Structure 1
Amino acid sequence: MEVKSALLGSSIVKKYWMALTGLFLCTFLVVHLGGNLVLLRGEEARLDFNAYAKFMTTFPVIKAISYLLYFSILFHSFDGILLTIQNRAARPVKYYYNKPEANSTWQSRNMALLGTIILAFIVTHMANFWYKMHFGDIPLDANGNKDLYEVVVTFFKDPSMGIVYVSLYVVSMIALGFHLLHGFASAFQTLGLYHKKYNPIIKNVGVLFSVFVSILFAIIPIFIYLQ
């Protein structure tokens, strides 16, 4: 029995939406990374980071985009699961083949696993920071903004669990890097923007994007922990 999305029918359409939501989430990663890199300035970044957090949670346009972001995350995850199930259902009898790495990369064969790790990270990340920013009892900084900087620093510098939180964060960023390594170029290919002339450029940009985004995100909690 064919597995169908409530919104989408064929696997081809699902892949188009996966590509579009994936590229939108890549844009979000750049914006989110830009704001978080402020934390590498240490204590002097407190007021600026808190002002950034307030802007991202109160400015009307950003709030509207944030709802699109939440939808994209859920849709991207849900449709990815459906695609995986649908692809496996198309091959009910598992077949064996030699050296699969000759025809595909490790990350392309494990996108479902990588996506699951990232989704689990997003849920816990939002519980620890997004939820507290919106509904938690957070003290105010010198400018009267919620002191999210203190929440972040306290979380990663926790005497007993800080190293665990940092390690899990870094592992999640490694998973994100591999997920992007395949997903970035794959999205362009799905949308028909993958041309022989531009293939090397798209592939190289995808590699650089994947590596730099994952490494820079991972550096932030390590820096905070070692301060």
Structure 2
Amino acid sequence: MGNIFSSSIGKKLVMSISGLFLITFLSLHLFLNSLLLVSADAFNMAANFMSTNPLIRIMEPVLALGFIIHIVYATLLTLKNQTARPIGYQNVDQRMASTWSSRNMYVLGFALLSFLVMHMANFFWKIKFGTVPSVMVDGIEMHDTYTLVTSLFLTYKWINGVYLAGALALGFHLSHGFWSAFQTIGWNNTVWMSRLKFVSYLFAIILAGGYSVISLYFWFFASL
């Protein structure tokens, strides 16, 4: 029992659970970001709730820990798989037995990590430790997070392209990672796998599409 987390199965289990936890966060984050398309007040109120609610503030370090655990265990498994491959592995055409996403999960994950660092520097760090103008919404003073976010998208159009690329990388990553996580947990019979793969692809399209729509809106339709 003590060695379960040092075994390959244990590492996959930890990575799967942490991945499902992060997927929950990404879904909530998409809902919050979609309010950018509704109104400034709606987005500011939601952002203020997320930054002031005691439960959410407690979850912030838990979320950070979830990212760290997922990245560390993904790295360990990737290194282990690389060293365990037989000599003739590269001569086998893996495209016949696996999808492009499954073969490039670590590359996609690294792209998402790079995107996350940029996102944190542009928004989270500025909101937490920078100087953000205040605004009154329904008699409550709060950070004008809407202006912070939209001004960046509208002033630097190339950032929309970066966010669109991040959304696409997320979609490809989830298209394999979602059903693979449930497979690791134990839902791996033929009936469940076909259903999980369908839900996985659908979920990946919804999340990637949702984030993409926001980027495309500020890239082509919104104005200062």
TM-score when normalising by structure 2: 0.91
CA distance in 2, matches of 1:61, 1:114: 31
What's the CA shift string for 1:146-172, capped at 9, x where partnerless? 0010011111011xxx22111111111
Q: Which one is further off, 7-16 or 117-126?
A: 7-16
Maintained 8 Å contact 2:154/2:218:
yes
Is the counterpart of residue 29 in structure 1 residue 26 in structure 2? yes
User: Post-superposition shift, 1:91?
Assistant: 2.8
Question: Which ranges in structure 2 are unaligned for 5 or more consecutive residues?
Answer: none
- Aligned position for 1:123: 117
Is the counterpart of residue 62 in structure 1 residue 59 in structure 2? no
SS in 2 for 1:145: strand
CA distance in 2, matches of 1:76, 1:175: 16
CA distance in 2, matches of 1:92, 1:200: 30
Is the counterpart of residue 152 in structure 1 residue 146 in structure 2? no
What's the CA shift string for 1:35-70, capped at 9, x where partnerless? 1111112xxx11221111111112111111222111
**RMSD of aligned C-alpha atoms?**
1.5
Structure (1 or 2) with the greater helix fraction: 2
Question: Which ranges in structure 1 are unaligned for 5 or more consecutive residues?
Answer: 1-6
1:11 to 8, 28, 31: 8
Maintained 8 Å contact 1:176/1:214:
yes
Alignment-mate amino acid for residue 144 of structure 2: D
Is the counterpart of residue 176 in structure 1 residue 170 in structure 2? yes
What's the CA shift string for 1:78-137, capped at 9, x where partnerless? 111111111112237463334311111111110010000001111110110011111111
CA distance in 2, matches of 1:205, 1:148: 33
CA distance in 2, matches of 1:101, 1:33: 32
1:224 to 213, 218, 222: 218
CA distance in 2, matches of 1:196, 1:91: 27
Maintained 8 Å contact 1:47/1:141:
no
Q: Which one is further off, 103-112 or 140-149?
A: 140-149
SS in 2 for 1:142: strand
Maintained 8 Å contact 2:44/2:144:
yes
TM-score when normalising by structure 1: 0.90
Count of residue pairs brought into register by the alignment: 215
Q: Between the two proteins, what is the percent identity of the paired residues?
A: 38
Counting only pairs closer than 5 Å after superposition, residues 126-141 of structure 1 correspond to structure 2 as 126-141=120-135
